[in-house]
Amino acid sequence: MSKPNKVTKSSAVKTSAKASSSSIKAQEAKKKIVFRPILDNPYTQSNVWPFIEPQLGIDIIDLLENILKTNKDSKEIYHGFNSTVGTLEKQAAYNRGKTNDPIPSQIKYVFVCKFDMTPPILTSMFPVLCMTSSKNDQNMVKLIQLPRGSIERLSKALGIDNSGIIGITENLTQARPLYDLINENVKNVEVPWLNGIFNKEVPFEVPNIKQIQTTLGDKKSTKKNV
């Protein structure tokens, strides 16, 4: 008598599984494929940091380290986050006509130990800040990301821990070889959506609308609690 019972239970399990499978397939069949429009960024450039060749990065940090060792107290050099960022912000306000307070010596070169600093949000604003603090599109603030491990060398040269951000004006005579190396090999920062700050005739970009394929299921009835 036990054998028929086992067969009956097994058949019931199989029948239940088939019913469940059929139910899932039925639900999937009810879903309707639709295309939803989404508004995407018309500017496709994602990395706005100027690219630095590995050997170029080494040459730059070598020159910068020597300059800092012999000119650490110079008024033409800003070091640290607060000092450098604060000066760039004032510089941006003056160059964009937001204030009448001039900066005695404007920062021209910004060096950032991007790969040695965390979290990334600490350095994410520099491309935009360097562009907005530039005098015009012919006289841009140069942004240089230094090789990994540079923060230790800069900190030792200045005698200050965690010196991962340096700003230098274009008035330091001893830094002329460094200026020339950067001007010849490092491209300007490019932030397409900010081009209008230099050229008022820059047109708006056409919206970039994408179509995303998705499914639309049956609407579920919802009851509101009274």
Q: What is the pLDDT of residues 62-73, one digit of tens each?
A: 999 999 999 989
Is 209 among the domain residues?
no
Contact 221, 158 (CB under 8 A): no
In which domain, by residue range, is 183 found?
A: 54-197
Is 207 among the domain residues?
no
Cα-based angle 103, 108, 110 (whole degrees, multiple of 5): 115
Coil, strand, or helix at residue 192?
A: helix
Structure tokens at 21: 């499978």
Is 58 among the domain residues?
yes
Residue appearing with tokens 């230094």: 146
Is 62 among the domain residues?
yes
Is 203 among the domain residues?
no
Is 44 among the domain residues?
no
Q: How many whole angstroms separate alpha carbon 125 and alpha carbon 111?
A: 13
Residue 151: closest CA among 186, 129, 122, 175: 122
Is 73 among the domain residues?
yes
The answer for 140, left when phi > 0, alpha when psi is -120 to 50, beta otherwise, is: beta
Q: How many whole angstroms separate alpha carbon 60 and alpha carbon 49?
A: 16
Coil, strand, or helix at residue 211?
A: strand
pLDDT at 55: 97
% residues pLDDT > 90 (the chain): 57
195, burial (CB in 10 Å: exposed 0-12, middle 13-18, buried 19+): middle
Phi and psi at 132, nearest 5°, equal: -70, -25
Q: What is the CATH number of the domain that holds 148?
A: 3.30.1330.30
Overall number of domains in the chain: 1
Is 160 among the domain residues?
yes
Q: How confident is the model over 171-206, as pLDDT tens digits?
A: 999 999 999 999 999 999 988 888 778 876 655 556
Q: How many whole angstroms separate alpha carbon 126 and alpha carbon 131?
A: 8
Q: How confident is the model over 155-173, as pLDDT tens digits?
A: 999 999 999 999 999 999 9
User: pLDDT class for 141, splitting at 50, 70, 90?
Assistant: very high
